[in-house]
Amino acid sequence: MAKGVTPKSEDYARWYTDVITKAEMADYGPVKGTMVIRPYGYGVWESIKEAFDKRFKETGHVNAYFPLFIPKSFLSREADHIEGFAKECAVVTHSRLKSAPDGNGVVVDPDSKLEEEIIVRPTSETVIWSMYKKWINSYRDLPILINQWANVVRWEMRTRLFLRTSEFLWQEGHTAHATEQEAREESIQMLDIYQEVLEQILAIPVLTGLKSEAERFAGAVDTYCIEAMMGDKRALQAGTSHYLGQNFAKAFDVKFQTENNTEELVYATSWGVSTRLVGALIMVHGDDKGLRLPPKVAPVQIVIIPIIKNDNSLDAIEKFLEPFLTELGEIGIRFKLDDRQKISPGFKFNEWEMKGVPIRVEVGPRDMEGGTLFCARRDTGEKKSYEIESAATELGQLLDEIQTNMFEQALKFRSENTFTVDNYDEFKKQINSGGFIRCGWDGNPDSEAAIKKETKATIRCILLNEKTKDKKCIYSENPAKHEVIFARAY
């Protein structure tokens, strides 16, 4: 643990994996492509979950749980949907094991072969809309505003912890509405909530916008997204909110009786964020010393490390700290007194730095004499002594300051690496040194495909507040239909 990580500048991908491993955020599972989220990583996910769940409930959503297993035939009900998801799925074909004939271990019982194969959900639109078909009859049953926290599986051969694993955790909201307008408003509302949580809780600035047809969710009419810039200047899609129109209602024949006694197809949205956000958090805020966690998601916000000189000194330090720790608890600060014996303070410093704890407090004989606490900020490295009487309150304020500062740092980094470009040569040169490129696009999928082929950059989003006046398409030089952000992405 005390050993460092590969520097970011040397090998970003290795730095990323090193941080995750050394900060004990996650590990590889025994089946290829699977991930174990270790307690420290899961603690971060719990904070993120809570921030979203609170906002979902405040806007009238309720949680439910739909089955992991989907009949194979469901996937092909919605034509676009199958195109997007059919390919890489875990397929259950049998339901029983039996002892191996040679007495060595177990084998699959061939007699247990299923009549129809079952798919482990890659997303739940199909199974949910098959239920909505049963539950929706009249306008009185609408809207349905359901969210679920669940695991989903999309077979992956190349694993990258938190970013690309066969199984991951996420939330998926699935709503049903009587009108197009209400459904569209819902998809925008959820996009706003995603932006709020990313920026205020994860301290990650995001751009919001619409996906181009090529990047749209399979089965959606419109896909809205939040896009963030990682520490290597690549883009990461951090969440999506889809207006699905009547596509799934058509596929599953979900109609309702209106107030005027006519029959109409239901309008739908779906929206999701996943444990991928933990990966984003690491890449946006981490440095060569390891993680840096924004206080609002940090499992430990303040770590206190006693400088123990002899057997009696821990007792004395604990007594000295008592009123301070009590106050921290009362204010609701998550703190940890690292009183492990036989481990040096230096080792502990490195360990908690690696784990990204926002504030480290050191306390030894000299601090006790002076009635002070020596504190170090993880975000800036700044060190300062605080009077112990007022330290709890002041450190509480410092946590807020760190939260804001981390957002500002990330925003500054993104600004410095976002470029407005108006000719294709410059575009190609810029894309090679990384960053977001803001430019015009003629709306033609062919220009988009040509750019992707040549530069590996994709349209991350069509800006919602776009300015297309006098702009030309970066590729075709035809009048721009949209203002977009291009980048290489995860």
Shortest distance, position 373 Cβ to a copy of itself, whole Å: 26
Shortest distance, position 247 Cβ to a copy of itself, whole Å: 17
Shortest distance, position 151 Cβ to a copy of itself, whole Å: 6
Tell me which DSSP letter residue 410 carries. H
Q: Please, which residue, 13 or 91, has the CB nearer to a copy of itself? A: 91
Q: Please, which residue, 118 or 314, has the CB nearer to a copy of itself? A: 118
Shortest distance, position 305 Cβ to a copy of itself, whole Å: 17
Shortest distance, position 326 Cβ to a copy of itself, whole Å: 17
Distances (CA, A) of 468 to 5, 210, 293: 44, 15, 38
Interatomic CA distance for residues 336 and 305, integer angstroms: 9
Residues 299 and 40: beta-carbon distance below 8 Å: yes
Q: Which residues bind a copy of itself (CB under 8 A)?
A: 27, 29-31, 34-39, 42-43, 45-46, 62-76, 82, 86-99, 105-106, 108, 112, 117-120, 127, 130-131, 134-135, 140, 146, 150-151, 153, 155, 166-167, 169, 340
Shortest distance, position 354 Cβ to a copy of itself, whole Å: 16
Show contacts of 400-407: CB within 8 Å, 24+ apart.
400/295, 402/294, 402/295, 402/358, 402/359, 402/377, 402/378, 403/203, 403/294, 403/295, 403/296, 405/379, 405/380, 406/203, 406/285, 406/292, 406/294, 406/379, 407/199, 407/200, 407/203, 407/204, 407/205, 407/294
Interatomic CA distance for residues 99 and 41, integer angstroms: 38
Task: Please give the single-letter amino acid code of residue 330.
Answer: E
Shortest distance, position 75 Cβ to a copy of itself, whole Å: 6
Interatomic CA distance for residues 247 and 269, integer angstroms: 10
For residue 156, the Cα-to-chain-centroid distance in whole angstroms is 18
Shortest distance, position 103 Cβ to a copy of itself, whole Å: 10
R_g over Cα of the chain: 26
Q: Please, which residue, 75 or 402, has the CB nearer to a copy of itself? A: 75
For residue 416, the Cα-to-chain-centroid distance in whole angstroms is 23
Phi (first) and psi of residue 22, to 5 degrees: -75, -30
Q: Please, which residue, 64 or 464, has the CB nearer to a copy of itself? A: 64
Q: Please, which residue, 31 or 425, has the CB nearer to a copy of itself? A: 31
Q: Please, which residue, 88 or 389, has the CB nearer to a copy of itself? A: 88
Residue 10: left (phi > 0), alpha (psi -120 to 50), or beta?
Answer: alpha
Q: Cis peptide leading into 143, omega within 30 of 0?
A: yes
* Residue located via tokens 């090529």: 214
Shortest distance, position 161 Cβ to a copy of itself, whole Å: 12
Q: Please, which residue, 110 or 312, has the CB nearer to a copy of itself? A: 110
Q: Please, which residue, 90 or 314, has the CB nearer to a copy of itself? A: 90
Q: Please, which residue, 36 or 449, has the CB nearer to a copy of itself? A: 36
Phi (first) and psi of residue 203, to 5 degrees: 60, 35
